[in-house]
Amino acid sequence: MEVEMAEKEKSQKRSKRNYKPPEEVRQHMRNARAEMRESMRALFPPEFIEHRKVARREILLGIRGLIDDALGRM
């Protein structure tokens, strides 16, 4: 009985992980993201947007370095 319940629970977790929202919802989210980007472009000067991109890249490179270091120590 416990084994069946455990299997059912695992199956439910897998199905939640593989959940994909309906295409209509995904399209609304894409549209919202595009509108947010446009509002940022209108609100801030182009130099700020470029600086933000460079800063984001540097942060990601730093995180990559931390991950590489951790992998090297394993």
Q: Look up the pTM and report it.
A: 0.52
pLDDT of residue 60: 96
| Most confident region among 5-9, 23-27, 38-42 by mean pLDDT | 23-27
Task: State the pLDDT at residue 68.
Answer: 96
Residue 7 confidence (pLDDT) above 80: no
- b/e string for 12-46 if b means 16 or more Cβ within 10 A? eeeeeeeeeeeeeeeeeeeeeeeeeeeeeeeeeee
Q: Please tell me the distance from the alpha carbon of residue 71 to that of residue 73, in angstroms, as a whole number.
A: 5
Look at residue 18 in the predicted model and tell me its pLDDT: 84
Q: Where are the domains of the chain?
A: 45-74
pLDDT at 65 over 80: yes
pLDDT reported for residue 40? 87
